[in-house]
Amino acid sequence: MADYEPSQIEPKWQKFWQEKGLNKAEDFANKPKFYCLDMFPYPSGAGLHVGHPKGYTATDIISRYKMMQGFNVLHPMGWDAFGLPAENYAVKTKVHPDKSTHQNIEHFKEQIKSLGFSYDWSREIDTSSPEYYKWTQWFFLFLYKNGLAYKAKAPVNWCPKCQTVLANEQAQNGQCERCESEVEQKNLEQWFFKITDFCEELLLGLDKIDWPEPTKIMQKNWIGKSEGYEIDFTIKNQEQKIEVFTTRIDTIFGCAYLVVAPEHSAISSLKLQISNIKEVEEYVAKAKKKSDRDRQADIKDKTGVKLEGIMAINPANNQEIPIFAADYVLASYGTGAIMAVPAQDERDYEFAKKFNLPIVEAANSWEMAEKGIAKKKINYKLRDWLVSRQRYWGAPIPIIYCAKCGQQPVPEKDLPVLLPTDVDFMPTGESPLTKSKEFHNVRCPVCGAKAMRENDTMDTFVCSSWYFLRYTDPKNNQEFAAKKLMDYWCPVDCYVGGAEHTVLHLLYARFFTKALYKAGLISFDEPFLKLRHQGLILAAGGEKMSKSKGNVINPDEVVKQYGADSLRVYEMFMGPFDQAISWDTQGVKGVKKFLDRIFRVAQNIKSEVVQESLKKLLHKTIKKITDDIEAMKFNTAISSLMILNNEMEKEKEIAREIMEKFLMILSPFAPHLAEELWQGLDKKESIFLEKWPEYDINLINDEKINLIIQINGKARGSIEAVRGIGEQEAVGLTKKDQKIAKWLENKEIKKIIFVQNKLINFVI
């Protein structure tokens, strides 16, 4: 038999599986369903990165394993195809994003297919196709009609380089998520989705899903629930009041002054009463000009200005206290005003020190709350999701503006609102759609007068907030997906993807699901029951792979040199799945060597001899692999396959029944090699149609055990004994052992600890 040549065998079996329709998910099949999903990729021009196959291999192992266990598996793949890079590329090269995106998709698909993943390609989706974004637009209308999409003028994050607004989640640290430019604040009229309506549901749902705990905590923190009180402070000799929010109403006796945000309405409404209004307005103007980043730059150095001429009255003790405007108080949170308690709050303390304000120590008292001065209030940090983008390559927002009838949704029958092609992509701060003539050739759906379309497109995260639903019914042109099919396949049983989407995609998709559930369109309220993150694959030195550093590993090269199975097994063997680990090409070589050895061992099959010891090890390995796949501990699963193979190598002949089962448990990891060797055993059908082997519990417990002997808790040796040996017997055996006996000589045994089948410890 020839040597193991991955390049010879891999395409052959990929074709075979494809032709047999092995990966097709069957709607309503009479089997339990299992929906196993990857976060679909953005088809970038750079092609597949070695990080992509890490997650994809994990879901492939699980999918193939579940298939063999008799599940009806849905394992789809598609493209998160809208987005800025394609548009930026178009600006640079004049290649239309539609063209470059589809070239990229073809390239990605070819690369993914070369790795032998069991995707059901008949369900492939592309978010940039009108058949798909028609329904993205439908979702916009759905939210709009349910009062969950609204247009409002608000301070928003503006990226000067991308020339578009960004959601809060995309402007963390005051930087654009895409290009890392410093974002600016602009007051603009934009479309928002009312995710804040679901704060409570989004928090509560976390308790019933199997997600990594840190991911849940991050979502929790991002939603940022805090329970407190709102209290009115009256202004001396004025009608007007200033309402503050506090979580520590008990400290109200220590309140030394009030602080309002520079944007607070009291500043203009009390304009006439503020004697230093000029100075105040100067401060406000300066603060407004500052970017968020500048405001945060020196947290310790608080700035502010006193509002002279007015005093507030502390309702707890009727004390008159001064009022300040300072930018350490945020207009966007709570009431935009706080009661400052320098004795208790670090920020108030710093401000008080700088402005020489009294630091009043006061006994804390919760009584105030009951006195009715304050009313209970819950605040959240979560802001509504800003979805407008002043860019071209996205789904147009389906809204029409009529001079007479105002803002009108596009009627559902007129969807999709197609992206026009007669545009200049050069970003100018306005949506490129503004410049299209054909796009604006529209009439008001209400009165029929000439009207204008909305020029902005939607954030691409809108497209990815519902894609997992579309896979259940990808060709439907009547609705985004049939309820029956969504309810059959969903929720997703196992979802794998990077941790970087914790407060973006993963939060948005949960929001969509909850909105649909509330409207009765689906029967589940969490989209992803079980979620796991793959750890990054770093470059050899432990730093991130990047084009500029020239340390990027191209998966095509690895497949070419070592084969897809080697790449797959290596990426699973590197270490714990969720951990970031450096790439090591030596490790790939080692895995290839392992597969070579399997290939050679498989040549020694003889059907008669069944070595009992090998059979026992096989059954232990079946148990280990089964448990490890369930727990996604792929690295230890592979090591146990190596151990078994090492043992098989020592035998001249391997029983056919042992080899067959070995190939079955190998098959999810190295599907091509397993299928090749399986077919070498004169099989007609694919190995993946076999039933996943079960282990014999009687074979996994050895009759002989190794009893560890300890003296004072220190291991001093071991003896072989029969399973279930009693303490008396074990002590007897131990004392006969020369090596141990010398430790016990002339010593008084104070105590014996005996752990059955494990150890015996003499305390002397």
Q: Which of residues 274-293 bind RNA (CB under 7 A)?
A: 292
Decide if residue 164 touches RNA (CB under 7 A): no
Q: Which is nearer to RNA, 225 or 518 (CB)?
A: 225
Binding residues for RNA restricted to 743-762, rule: CB under 7 A: 751, 753, 755, 758-759, 761
621 binds RNA (CB under 7 A): no
CB 653 within 8 Å of CB 606: yes
Taking the complex as a whole, how short is the minimal distance between the CB of residue 325 and RNA, in angstroms?
Answer: 12
Using CB under 7 A as the binding rule, whether residue 594 contacts RNA is answered as: yes
* Beta carbon of residue 715, minimum distance to RNA (angstroms, whole number): 3
- Max CA separation in the chain (angstroms): 109
How many Å apart are CA 575 and CA 587, to the nearest integer?
11
Among 57, 100, 111, 246, binds RNA (CB under 7 A): 246
Report if residue 581 touches RNA, rule: CB under 7 A: yes
Among 29, 299, 449, 741, binds RNA (CB under 7 A): 299
Interface pick for RNA out of 286, 375, 443, 593 (rule CB under 7 A): 593
CB closer to RNA, 330 vs 405: 330
| Rg, the chain, Cα only | 33
Question: Between residues 172 and 434, which has the closer beta carbon with respect to RNA?
Answer: 172
The answer to whether 38 contacts RNA (rule: CB under 7 A) is no
Q: Does 682 bind RNA (CB under 7 A)?
A: no
What burial class does residue 267 get, using C-beta atoms within 10 Å of its C-beta: 0-12 exposed, 13-18 middle, 19+ buried? buried
Q: How far is the CB of 114 from RNA (least distance, A)?
A: 23
Q: Toward RNA, which CB reaches closer, 30 or 586?
A: 586
Provide the minimum distance between the beta carbon of 102 and RNA in the complex, in angstroms, as a whole number.
31
For position 261 contacting RNA by CB under 7 A, the verdict is yes
Nearest distance, CB of residue 349 and RNA, angstroms: 11
Contacts of 599 (CB under 8 A, 6+ apart): 3, 4, 673, 677
Please say which residue, 149 or 255, places its beta carbon nearer to RNA.
255
Query: Residues in contact with RNA, total (CB under 7 A)?
Result: 80
Using alpha carbons, select from 683, 678, 650, 681 the residue that is nearest to residue 666.
678
Q: Is 633 in the site for RNA (CB under 7 A)?
A: yes
Residue list 373-432, contact with RNA (CB under 7 A): 379, 381
What are the residues facing 4 on neighbouring strands? Answer: none
Q: Is 499 in the site for RNA (CB under 7 A)?
A: yes
Rank residues 368 and 581 by Cβ distance to RNA and give the closer one: 581
Give the separation between CA 183 and CA 181, rounded to whole angstroms.
6
Answer for which of 98, 281, 596, 660 binds RNA (CB under 7 A) is 596
Region of 267-275, 356-364, 637-645, 682-690 interacting with RNA (CB under 7 A): 637-645
Q: Which one of residues 214, 309, 429, 724 is an interface residue with RNA (CB under 7 A)? A: 214
For residue 97, count other CB atoms closer than 10 A to its CB. Answer: 25
**Between residues 23 and 640, which has the closer beta carbon with respect to RNA?**
640
Q: Which of 429, 423, 512, 419 shows the shortest CA–CA distance to 463?
A: 512
Terminal-to-terminal C-alpha distance of the chain: 62
- Tokens read off for 169: 């989640």
> Any contact of residue 603 with RNA (CB under 7 A)?
no
**Residues in region 639-678 near RNA by CB under 7 A:** 639, 642-643, 646, 649
Q: Which residues of 592-622 are buried (b: 16+ CB within 10 A; e: fewer)?
A: bebbebbbebbeebeeeeebeebbbbbbbbb
Rounded least distance, CB 5 to RNA, Å: 13
- Report how far residue 64's alpha carbon sits from residue 46's, in angstroms, rounded to the nearest whole number: 29
Provide the token pair at 394.
Answer: 């996205």
Choose between 338 and 444: whose C-beta lies nearer to RNA.
338
Rounded-to-integer distance, Cα 437 and Cα 169, Å: 34
User: Dihedral, CA atoms, 279, 285, 290, 292, nearest 10 degrees?
Assistant: 100
Extract the tokens encoding 195: 């995710």
| Enclosing H/E stretch for 85 | helix 84-93
Minimum gap (Å) between residue 531 Cβ and RNA? 15
Report which residue type is found at 284.
Answer: V
Q: How many CB atoms lie within 10 A of CB 631?
A: 11
d(CA 184, CA 156): 8
The least CB distance from residue 714 to RNA, in Å, is 7
Binding positions for RNA, 346-375, rule CB under 7 A: 347
Q: Does 712 bind RNA (CB under 7 A)?
A: yes
**By C-beta, is 485 or 759 nearer to RNA?**
759
What is residue 30's DSSP assignment? S
Closer residue to RNA in complex, CB, 115/707: 707
Residue 329 touching RNA (CB under 7 A): yes
In the shown chain, the binding pattern of residues 101 to 140 toward RNA, with x for contact by CB under 7 A and - for none, equals ----------------------------------------
CA gap 285, 156 in Å, rounded: 17
Neighbours of 508 (CB within 10 A): 23
Coil, strand or helix at 470: helix
> Cβ closer to RNA: 474 or 563?
563
Q: In 29-106, where do the E strands start and end?
A: 33-38, 72-74, 78-79
Candidates 587, 623, 681, 690: give the one binding RNA (CB under 7 A): 587
Stretch that binds RNA, among 64-72, 221-229, 274-282, 557-565 (CB under 7 A): 221-229
Q: What is the dihedral of CA 88, 90, 96, 102, to 10 degrees?
A: -60
Nearer CB in complex with RNA: 141/707: 707
Q: Does 561 bind RNA (CB under 7 A)?
A: no
The answer to whether the CB of 372 falls within 8 A of the CB of 425 is no
CB 290 within 8 A of CB 224: no
Tokens representing residue 24 in the block: 């097709």
Among 163, 172, 273, 551, binds RNA (CB under 7 A): 172
The nearer residue to RNA, 88 or 640, going by C-beta atoms, is 640
- The answer to whether the bond into 671 is cis (omega within 30° of 0) is no
**Per CB under 7 A, does 56 bind RNA?**
no
